[in-house]
């Protein structure tokens, strides 16, 4: 489940020809693949002999750096695991990859980067342009696995994590079940077609940062199927599997400078190459589904209990990432590595992880969580990565509750200090103020409400906090009214306003 799925939205190409050197190189494709530089890794299988058995919704940067990387390795053993990549609304990926026959470059960033060509994607579709083709692929007997990376907001959930029937896309799907707009609508559409045609349900694998993601998606699918009637929900409940997962790898967005770097390494021009750190992890709940691939053969961890992995990743890695993003951007920093180079911020984040987040986690084996925490800090400091803080900062309405607020609630129950835990929350509020004052767009489903808060904010906790805490779907009522939380958050908010984001860190509770 952004690192992991570490909040890394994919930026569309700003040009088809980023530099003169890149423009002069031939375009990556099946025809030109043999002419790629000798040290570039290529698909170790015959692509022409592969068959599509996987449909993936949301073929953005993270999917192509993560799941497609695993599927590429799986195709060496199982030719039926090629991918049909479906974009729900925008054609950017299709337009970039179609001239390349679905091929693209993955660069693993480290001291000595690895460059490889990924061949797992054999077809790209845009649901808004060709819904019938998506329907045919979903109900094809060969399709056995559905995966998705659409970010938290793509599930159309309400503040309680249930399907939001007031969401415009869900309302549309209820009226037009054969041509859905939402991810949940498409999953239900495919399962209904398979049910009607006597096909077994596919395995549905959510790869987004949702708490208890498999069960959350299953509940949303069942809710929509029940509204559509005809016994479909009963069939799904009895036959379909929605395993829980955890995904992890930091994936910076692609820009033209990276395209030029890839062209130099590859000797070919790739319109949309992908970069990520070398570290990559995928944990999948083991099920009894006959459609389950041989995950372990390609390095996927199978577990009957994914919750410990999921909770540790969401809180330690994603919670720390968000802290770096909001404090760092307030301080005028651009990347995660820049933020980690600030001694006060690095020390604060390390203490936050060790003293405040880690005590809320189950530790399967002695010392394992210490090792995981230290590995995260090393990954944040990777000099080969330029992970923009702005990529992490968006969509807080979906991220804040699962990355930070759950830890806060656990700390309150355990009567632990809140001084450090409230800092990223206060910094986010000031971040909204700063973006609004600078007229910089805010990427968030609640952007209009956030802009309104930013415009009215004064920089004083007494006036500003009630506005932010009243935003829908973020702060639970019992937390927003809790005296200890309010006191700690007010103190952090006013300290940032008075002393600045970095200088204020030393003033917070350091016990």
Q: How many domains does the chain have?
A: 2
Same domain, 264 and 385: no
Does residue 463 belong to any structural domain of this protein? yes
pLDDT at 215: 96
Rg (CA), the chain: 23
Does residue 431 belong to any structural domain of this protein? yes
Q: Which of 289, 169, 284, 155 is nearest to 210 (CA)?
A: 155
Partners of residue 283 on adjacent β-strands:
246, 301
Backbone angles phi, psi at 209, to 5 degrees: -80, 65
Same domain, 91 and 237: yes
**Token representation of residue 439:** 């007229």
Q: Which residue, 252, 271, 304, sits at the end of a domain?
A: 304
Report the helix count and the strand count for the chain, using DSSP H and E: 23, 11
Same domain, 231 and 349: no
The residues of the chain scoring below 70 in pLDDT are 1-23, 363-366, 509-511
| Residue burial 268-277, b: 16+ Cβ < 10 Å; e: rest | bbbbbbbbbb
Task: Report how far residue 326's alpha carbon sits from residue 360's, in angstroms, rounded to the nearest whole number.
Answer: 22
Backbone angles phi, psi at 250, to 5 degrees: -80, 125
pLDDT at 211: 80
Q: Which residue, 251, 277, 304, sits at the end of a domain?
A: 304
Does residue 189 belong to any structural domain of this protein? yes
Which of the 8 DSSP states describes residue 34? G
For 85-130, the DSSP string reads EEESS--HHHHHHGGGTT-EEEEEESSS-EEEEE--EEEEEETTT-
361 close to 411: Cβ distance less than 8 angstroms: no
Q: Alpha carbon of 166 to those of 135, 149, 151, 154: distances in Å?
A: 25, 23, 19, 14
pLDDT at 21: 59
Strands, E, within 263-390: which ranges?
Answer: 274-277, 281-285, 301-303
User: What CATH number is associated with residue 330?
Assistant: 1.10.1040.10
pLDDT at 509: 52
User: What CATH number is associated with residue 109?
Assistant: 3.40.50.720
403 close to 319: Cβ distance less than 8 angstroms: yes
Same domain, 251 and 202: yes
pLDDT at 326: 95
Same domain, 395 and 379: yes
pLDDT at 304: 86
Does residue 2 belong to any structural domain of this protein? no
Same domain, 295 and 333: no
pLDDT at 241: 97
Residue for token pair 């809320």:
360
Same domain, 312 and 298: no
Predicted model pTM: 0.79
Does residue 9 belong to any structural domain of this protein? no
Distance of CA 327 to the CA centre of its chain: 21
Partners of residue 281 on adjacent β-strands:
248
Does residue 78 belong to any structural domain of this protein? yes
Q: Which residue, 289, 304, 319, sits at the end of a domain?
A: 304
pLDDT at 391: 84
Does residue 10 belong to any structural domain of this protein? no
Same domain, 70 and 180: yes
122 close to 82: Cβ distance less than 8 angstroms: yes
Same domain, 28 and 127: yes
| Cβ neighbours around 172 below 10 Å, total | 15
pLDDT at 395: 78
Given strand 274-277, what is the order of strands in its sheet? 114-118, 104-109, 274-277
Domain span including residue 327: 308-507
pLDDT at 22: 63
Does residue 12 belong to any structural domain of this protein? no
β-pairing verdict for 104-109 and 114-118: antiparallel
Same domain, 322 and 406: yes
Which of the 8 DSSP states describes residue 195? H
206 close to 214: Cβ distance less than 8 angstroms: yes
Same domain, 235 and 366: no
Taken in order 420, 421, 426, 428, the sign of the CA dihedral is: positive
Which of the 8 DSSP states describes residue 460? -
β-pairing verdict for 145-148 and 52-57: parallel
Same domain, 209 and 327: no
pLDDT at 118: 98
């Amino acid at each position: 489940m952004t690192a992991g799925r570490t909040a890394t939205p994919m930026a569309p190409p700003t040009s088809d020809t980023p530099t003169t050197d890149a423009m002069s190189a031939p375009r990556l494709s099946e025809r030109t693949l043999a002419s790629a530089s000798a040290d570039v890794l290529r698909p170790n299988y015959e692509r022409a002999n592969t068959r599509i058995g996987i449909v993936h919704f949301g073929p953005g940067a993270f999917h192509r750096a993560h799941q497609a990387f695993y599927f590429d390795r799986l195709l060496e053993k199982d030719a039926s695991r090629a991918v049909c990549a479906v974009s729900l609304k925008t054609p950017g990926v299709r337009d970039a990859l179609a001239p390349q026959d679905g091929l693209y470059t993955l660069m693993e960033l480290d001291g000595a980067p690895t460059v490889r060509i990924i061949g797992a994607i054999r077809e790209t579709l845009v649901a808004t342009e060709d819904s019938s083709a998506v329907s045919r692929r979903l109900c094809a007997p060969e399709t056995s696995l559905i995966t998705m990376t659409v970010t938290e907001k793509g599930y159309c959930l309400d503040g309680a994590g249930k399907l939001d029937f007031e969401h415009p896309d869900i309302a549309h799907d209820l009226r037009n079940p054969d041509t859905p707009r939402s991810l949940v609508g498409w999953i239900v559409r495919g399962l209904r077609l398979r049910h009607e045609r006597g096909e077994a349900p596919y395995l549905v694998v959510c790869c987004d940062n949702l708490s208890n993601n498999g069960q959350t998606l299953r509940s949303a699918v069942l809710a929509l199927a029940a509204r559509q009637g005809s016994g479909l929900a009963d069939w799904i409940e009895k036959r379909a599997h929605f395993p829980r997962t955890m995904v992890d790898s930091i994936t910076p967005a692609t820009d033209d400078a990276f395209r030029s770097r890839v062209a130099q390494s590859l000797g070919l021009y790739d319109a949309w190459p992908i970069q990520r750190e070398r570290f990559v992890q995928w944990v999948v709940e083991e099920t009894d589904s006959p459609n389950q691939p041989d995950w372990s053969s390609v390095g996927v961890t199978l577990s009957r209990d994914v919750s410990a992995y999921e909770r540790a990743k969401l809180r330690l890695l994603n919670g720390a990432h968000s802290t770096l993003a909001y404090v760092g951007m307030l301080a005028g920093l651009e990347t995660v590595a820049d933020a980690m180079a600030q001694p006060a911020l690095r020390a604060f984040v390390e203490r936050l992880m060790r003293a405040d987040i880690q005590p809320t986690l189950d530790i399967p084996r002695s010392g394992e969580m210490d090792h995981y925490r230290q590995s995260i800090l090393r990954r944040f400091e990777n000099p080969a990565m330029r992970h923009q803080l702005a990529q992490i900062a968006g969509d807080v309405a979906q991220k804040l509750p699962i990355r930070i607020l759950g830890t806060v609630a656990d700390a309150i129950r355990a009567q632990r200090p809140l001084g450090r835990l409230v800092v990223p929350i206060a910094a986010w509020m000031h971040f909204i103020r700063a973006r609004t004052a600078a007229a910089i767009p805010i990427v968030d489903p609640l952007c209009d409400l956030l802009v309104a808060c930013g415009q009215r904010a004064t920089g004083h906790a007494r006036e500003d906090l009630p506005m932010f805490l009243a935003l829908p779907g973020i702060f639970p009522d019992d937390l927003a009214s809790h005296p200890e939380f309010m006191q700690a958050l007010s103190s952090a908010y006013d300290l940032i306003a008075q002393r600045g984001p970095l200088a204020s860190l030393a003033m917070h509770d350091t016990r």
